[in-house]
Amino acid sequence: MIDYTNLVPILRTPEQIEKSLWNCATLPIYSNSKVCATKHGYMSAIKNMRISSFHKCGYNIALSLPLSNLVCIDVDMHGNINGLKTFLELVEKYGKIDTYTELTATNGGLHIFVSKDGIDETVKNCDLATGVELKVNGYIVCAPSIFNGKQYRIVWGVNDDGTYKFGKLSEKWLHFINKINKEKINSISKVVNHCTTRKFVPSEVPLQYRQILENCRLLRFMYECPDEIPEPVWFSVISMLTRNTNTDDFIHLISEGYSKYTYKETNYKIKHCRNTSKHCGCNYIATNHYEFCKGCPKAEQIKRRNNYER
């Protein structure tokens, strides 16, 4: 069984990785980045992609989680966050996970890929513990990708025939994840409903900003209850707003109420989103963060369309 504290990389060529991921949906990522090189993000992923050819041309590779029926437990190691420590505490409670695992290219984090079987359809990206996030939507950069000179490395889950073992979560893990999701949805629903019943925009807020806040349920909630917004949602909002070059002040306005807000970090995110020229829109946000948009006519229209396409 895997020893998370003593991980030894398994050396595999891009050609071997291509064969192992042949039946998974993958997509190309721009060189030395985590930005997808396709128009529709994870929805553009295809099975049987020529990974080795893209790799030779300098592209990184990512796995589309929804199109591969996978989820990823993302263990972060950066700054004061020691995700491995908290992940090991979860392992003690719910058991080890015998599945395909990679060391990330950033500070020794982990990407633990498992089958989505048993996870409720309503589960979205969420924090399982400090430094440990469950990712259900979108894509995850994977081996043999390189970021800032460091490579994503395989450390567990390669079968004798070269295929990858995408294991299933135990009943304890599934109960824990599904319960967290239900509690999260109930909590968000209560806070959103509470916030939207208040007179939330003071008169000193410029008129054009007040109009935006009055027309967008998510932005209104973000302004009123900033500490209830998970980081991925906050980043998606910044990505959406940076499509316009005159939104810096508005982004700071809706972000500065967050207890850990810093002007420097917010400016960094603004700059990063504009440099990548890849921006989220209502379709992405309503699909991936519907619990914050529920009740918005446009979000409901997007949800009906997504359900129809399924």
**Phi, psi of 34, rounded to the nearest 5 degrees:** -120, 20
What per-residue confidence (pLDDT) applies to 189?
Answer: 53
The reply to whether 25 and 144 lie within a common domain is yes
Question: 308 is written with which tokens?
Answer: 């129809």
The reply to whether 116 and 46 lie within a common domain is yes
What per-residue confidence (pLDDT) applies to 185?
Answer: 55
Percent of the chain at pLDDT > 90 equals 43
Look at residue 199 and tell me whether its pLDDT is greater than 50: no
| Residue 3 included in any domain | no
Q: Residue 273 sits in which domain range?
A: 196-309
Look at residue 203 and tell me whether its pLDDT is greater than 60: no
Strand partners, 29: 36, 60
What per-residue confidence (pLDDT) applies to 299?
Answer: 86
pLDDT band at 219 (very low <50, low <70, confident <90, very high): confident
| Three-class secondary structure of residue 169 per DSSP | coil
Using the 3D structure, point to which of 131, 146, 176 is the last residue of a domain. 176
The reply to whether 41 and 159 lie within a common domain is yes
Question: 2 is written with which tokens?
Answer: 């895997």
Distance CA 109, CA 166 (A): 19
Kindly report the pTM of this predicted structure: 0.66
The reply to whether 172 and 248 lie within a common domain is no
Distance CA 102, CA 32 (A): 18
The reply to whether 47 and 126 lie within a common domain is yes
Q: For residue 140, what is the enclosing H or E element?
A: strand 139-142
Q: What is the mean pLDDT of residues 180-185?
A: 68
Work out the number of other CB atoms within 10 angstroms of the CB of residue 213. 21
The reply to whether 23 and 152 lie within a common domain is yes
| Residue 298 included in any domain | yes
What per-residue confidence (pLDDT) applies to 37?
Answer: 86
Chain-centroid distance of CA 245 in Å reads: 25
The reply to whether 225 and 165 lie within a common domain is no
What per-residue confidence (pLDDT) applies to 188?
Answer: 53
| Residue 182 included in any domain | no
Look at residue 50 and tell me whether its pLDDT is greater than 90: yes
Give Cα separations from 103 to 44, 118, 132, 297 (angstroms): 25, 25, 14, 42
| Residue 8 included in any domain | no
The reply to whether 155 and 36 lie within a common domain is yes
| Residue 135 included in any domain | yes
Q: For residue 184, what is the enclosing H or E element?
A: helix 171-195
Question: 151 is written with which tokens?
Answer: 């490579």
Listing from the earlier edge strand, what are the strands of the sheet with 153-156?
126-129, 132-135, 70-75, 110-115, 101-103, 153-156
Question: 21 is written with which tokens?
Answer: 């991921």
The reply to whether 116 and 216 lie within a common domain is no
What per-residue confidence (pLDDT) applies to 198?
Answer: 39
Q: Where are the beta strands (DSSP E) in 37-138?
A: 60-64, 70-75, 77-78, 81-82, 101-103, 110-115, 126-129, 132-135
Distance CA 125, CA 210 (A): 30
The total of structural domains in the chain comes to 2
The reply to whether 103 and 131 lie within a common domain is yes
| Residue 131 included in any domain | yes
Distance CA 100, CA 152 (A): 13
Longest dimension (CA), the chain: 67
The reply to whether 40 and 172 lie within a common domain is yes
Q: Which of 23-37, 110-124, 256-270 has the lowest mean pLDDT?
A: 256-270
Distance CA 22, CA 19 (A): 5
The reply to whether 218 and 297 lie within a common domain is yes
Packing angle between helix 83-94 and helix 171-195, nearest 10 degrees?
120
pLDDT band at 123 (very low <50, low <70, confident <90, very high): confident
| Residue 1 included in any domain | no
Distance CA 274, CA 202 (A): 29
What per-residue confidence (pLDDT) applies to 196?
Answer: 46
